[in-house]
Amino acid sequence: MWENETVVLVVSLKKRILGGATSVRFGKIALDNAIPPFVKLLFQNRVEEYLIRETPLSFKSTPHFDLRPEDIERFKTPILESLREMAIFSQEEVEEILREALVLRLEYLIKPVSTMEQVLFEDTARVAIADLERRLHPYAKVLSYTDELTRECKRLGYAEIEKDEYHRLMDSILQKKSAENPLAWVLRDFSVLTEFLSETKGEEVVRVEGNVLKAFFEDRKLIPFRRVLEVEMKLGKEDFDAGELEVMLKRYLEFKETFAIANGLGKKEKEEEIAIPSEKPVEPPLAKEESEMGIEFEEPPQKEEAWDLELMLGEESQETEKEPEPLRPSPEIETPVLEEPPKIKKPMRIIRREVKEEPLESAEPEPAPLISEEKASPSVFRTRLKDLIDEKTEKAFIKKLFGGDGEAYVKLMRKLEEAESWRVAKILIDNELFKRDVDPFSREAIKLVDLVYSRYYPEEGVGGQR
């Protein structure tokens, strides 16, 4: 799958190893410090296979030479070392081993857990810890998984490890990494991957295909990140660089935190709603609307008038006991009962409609200042970074943050000039510092961040000191 990705580096290493010859001894390969350790490891493994399959020497006892096991062990080591140095590889074998080594390393950068399993358990069900350390040591400088696995095995006192136990330990290691800072973990591994792809292709590679990143996340047990990536791919995205990957994952983590808080509040509200009916009677719908709007209405005087009518009826009944005409007061009592309730209900409906309209009208002008602020903010961008950074500071940035690489500094400044917001500018700075393994809390890094921040928020000054 990755053979085409490694052509440039294979050709370069092949020339280095052979030096124009048609074959080479393993002794020369072992002494060349320019050849990567993971490449030497595969050559060494091939030599061990040759020693078992086609050793040129054999020993046996004769009547005058009684060879015992301890005698053989005494001169076995120097003889084997000499045979290893004399092992010869043709140019075809050199190219084959180089391709296998480079592909294996690329696979390790994308799928470290699966690749280490392949290296350790390809031809055995268990492996000794000493052998595990020997096989994985060449990959230790690439990513930290091999060192972490070795340390965990030694901490637990294992003499050997089986495949099932290997998976259990790796799951534990991955879980710890995910709990600490999953975003920094992903971006660091992604940076190592793009650097190696650039080295193998002979040109700068900053974008990685989505299908490769799916395997990248899945092997590290980052299934939520893989699902987010799949959503982006369904929307038409085919490949990603470090900045796009960081923004995508940050957005997911922010949404995850927001929804977690919202779900927690929702559960509390549901519990309260379930508890309310047993303690309080259900309020009428209109009363609930009024309480939510924060406006108190006077209760309609309908009940009070009913009580007044009863008093009136009581008073008039007393009068009827004194007067002989009982039919006269009845029409006077019935008429107000029929006419007055409608008068009370109509104004209440009108009042409620007016109250519902008022908050809408009052709420409409609120976003106006926000819009005006956003429109006003681009005027801040007129300040150029070149005007904020003096020559002495610029030299310090190039030396301390970019290792003397002036071109990389100029490229970053151009990107920062074009950045549409402070957030985009901060991501660009973080990515550059991370790629160069620079401490983001160093004096020069903090000063650079403060200067760029003052470009977007000049009213606060450099470092927010104004």
Residue 222 near residue 230, CB atoms below 8 Å: no
The total of other beta-carbon atoms located within 10 Å of residue 381's CB is: 14
- Amino acid (one-letter) located at 394: E
Pick from 95, 110, 125: which residue ends a domain? 110
300 is a domain residue: no
131 is a domain residue: no
64 and 143 share one domain: no
pLDDT on residue 56: 73
0.85 cut: is pTM over it? no
pLDDT on residue 4: 58
Provide the H-helix boundaries in 182-328. Answer: 182-201, 210-219, 223-234, 242-279, 285-293, 302-322
153 and 80 share one domain: no
289 is a domain residue: no
Residue 7 near residue 73, CB atoms below 8 Å: no
68 is a domain residue: yes
391 and 357 share one domain: no
Residue found by looking up tokens 């020339």 in the block: 15
For the chain, give percent helix, strand, coil, nearest 5: 75, 5, 20
What per-residue string of b and e applies to 405-416 under the rule 16 or more CB within 10 Å gives b? Answer: eeebbeebbebb
144 and 251 share one domain: yes
Closest CA to 436 of 188, 105, 108, 110: 188
Burial status of residue 347 (CB atoms within 10 A of its CB: 0-12, 13-18, 19 or more): exposed
Q: How far apart are CA 424 and CA 430, in angstroms?
A: 10
For the stretch 247-292, pLDDT in tens is 999 989 888 877 765 555 455 555 554 444 444 444 444 444 444 4
353 and 390 share one domain: no
Q: Which residues are CB-contacts of 386 (< 8 A; sequence separation ≥ 6)?
A: 413
Number of domains the chain is built from:
4
**Residue 23, helix vs strand vs coil:** strand
344 and 427 share one domain: no
254 and 164 share one domain: yes
358 and 395 share one domain: no
pLDDT on residue 343: 47
377 is a domain residue: no
291 is a domain residue: no
Q: How far apart are CA 300 and CA 284, in angstroms?
A: 14
Q: How far apart are CA 437 and CA 195, in angstroms?
A: 13
Q: How far apart are CA 198 and CA 365, in angstroms?
A: 54
Both tokens of 362, joined, read 């009052």
pLDDT on residue 154: 92
For the stretch 291-345, pLDDT in tens is 444 444 444 444 444 444 444 445 544 544 444 444 454 444 444 444 444 444 4
Q: How far apart are CA 8 and CA 106, in angstroms?
A: 14
Residue 109 near residue 193, CB atoms below 8 Å: yes
118 is a domain residue: no
Residue 233 near residue 210, CB atoms below 8 Å: yes
150 and 92 share one domain: no
Measure Cα distances from 12 to 2, 19, 88, 200, 389 in Å: 17, 11, 20, 10, 42
Q: How far apart are CA 10 and CA 6, in angstroms?
A: 6
Phi first, then psi: what are they for 127, rounded to 5°? -140, 140
170 and 267 share one domain: yes
All residue ranges of the chain with pLDDT < 50 are 1, 265, 273-313, 316-317, 319-327, 329-382, 463-466
pLDDT on residue 3: 53
Residue 61 near residue 67, CB atoms below 8 Å: yes
Residue 212 near residue 239, CB atoms below 8 Å: no
pLDDT on residue 174: 94
116 is a domain residue: no
- Amino acid (one-letter) located at 125: A
pLDDT on residue 263: 57
Pick from 328, 363, 398: which residue ends a domain? 363
pLDDT on residue 260: 64
Closest CA to 210 of 181, 244, 177, 187: 244
CA 134, 136, 142 angle in degrees (round to 5)? 135
95 and 33 share one domain: yes
- Amino acid (one-letter) located at 294: G
153 and 262 share one domain: yes
Which range of residues forms the domain containing residue 337? 310-363
Measure Cα distances from 418 to 207, 382, 406, 428 in Å: 20, 11, 19, 11
Pick from 271, 300, 324: which residue ends a domain? 271
